[in-house]
A and B are shown apart, each in its own frame.
Chain A
């Protein structure tokens, strides 16, 4: 079939693809030595997903003007506390932001 790759910038694409590979953990690493961290990573990834969805929904509502001043204040406080709590938990388990993601194969990335 004569499969070919054509580009003027092979290095740029190689770098970007490498970045992409590095960014995506293929699986949750859980073994006897780091079972706690593996589990924390999975749980925090899911919490992070929910937190981001909540945040996005809140932004949409601010944009649409459908929140009262009081509601904005309450939502803001809640989201802020959630974010701070997540920071604390990430520190406790030694996890970085980019680690809180999952590659779902054909479905793409979770976050």
Chain B
């Protein structure tokens, strides 16, 4: 493999970084400056597999270390450029976006909260209640109407299930609302995974956020919770330029920044 440039993240500094820091394959890290910001990279001359856990962890470690000193826009694992010129071209094209994101995410970290509820049981309970009430809207005198009756009943069950989920999510989310700057909530990715949330939190509110999680966890009930973080703000980077390929390359920005899903 020819020499490539491996990128870890854009930072709010155009100055040299700590030379002792190492990247993938123990290669030295350096900051490529562009105007008042920079992008931290290392050289890479070997193939890295997507599933290589050691490299994934190394990428994350570098980003987290950078976050101790800088505001970082983390790049997704395996973001490669064919050379420094391509890096600079990308920096030029996305400069305004980077500045906006760096300002918005300054002194912020991300937490993930996942909630599991007994979705199977709740659906079963709702279904049983519906079957008992047998409150069908149509007189099933034909095959078309029978079909609609069955579908309508399933529709009502789904709707009630979702309303119940919304109620529970509002309660869970209510524990964190006071401490977050932004949030992304995903409902019912599976019947049991009630909530998969990412919260953007001011660094100074980090302990408050964790305390809120402990309160939630201690609040009883049959829901199960998972807190992860602090993470770099992977889920809160917003790019307005939609098409990286517009400016030429590359095996690179095969979407430079990407939302992640962590446990």
Binding site for B on A (CB under 8 A): 1-10, 12-14, 16-17, 19-20, 23, 55-56, 58-59, 62-63, 69, 72-77, 79-80, 105-106, 108-109
Pick 12 A–B contacts, CB within 8 A, sort by A: A1-B230, A3-B229, A4-B228, A4-B229, A7-B224, A8-B217, A23-B190, A59-B152, A76-B142, A76-B143, A76-B145, A77-B143
B193 and A20 form a contact (CB under 8 A): yes
Residue in B109, B116, B151, B152 whose beta carbon sits within 8 Å of that of A9 in the complex: B116
Residues of A within 8 A of B64 (CB): 1, 3
Residues of A within 8 A of B225 (CB): 7-8
Binding site for A on B (CB under 8 A): 60, 64, 67-68, 109, 114, 116, 137-138, 142-148, 151-152, 155, 186, 189-190, 192-193, 213, 217, 224-231, 255, 258-259, 263
| Interface of B: prevailing SS | mixed
Known: A1-B68, A6-B227. A14 touches B263 (CB 8 A): yes
Known: A7-B227, A58-B148. A73 touches B189 (CB 8 A): no
Residues of B within 8 A of A58 (CB): 148, 151
Residues of A within 8 A of B259 (CB): 105-106
Residues of A within 8 A of B226 (CB): 5-7, 9-10, 13
Residues of B within 8 A of A76 (CB): 142-148
Known: A8-B224, A72-B138. A13 touches B114 (CB 8 A): yes
A20 and B151 form a contact (CB under 8 A): no
Residues of A within 8 A of B148 (CB): 58, 62, 72, 75-76, 79
A108 to B187 Cα, complex, angstroms: 11
B228 and A108 form a contact (CB under 8 A): no
Q: Considering the complex, give the chain A residue whose CB is closest to the CB of B231.
A: A3
Residues of B within 8 A of A72 (CB): 138, 144-145, 148
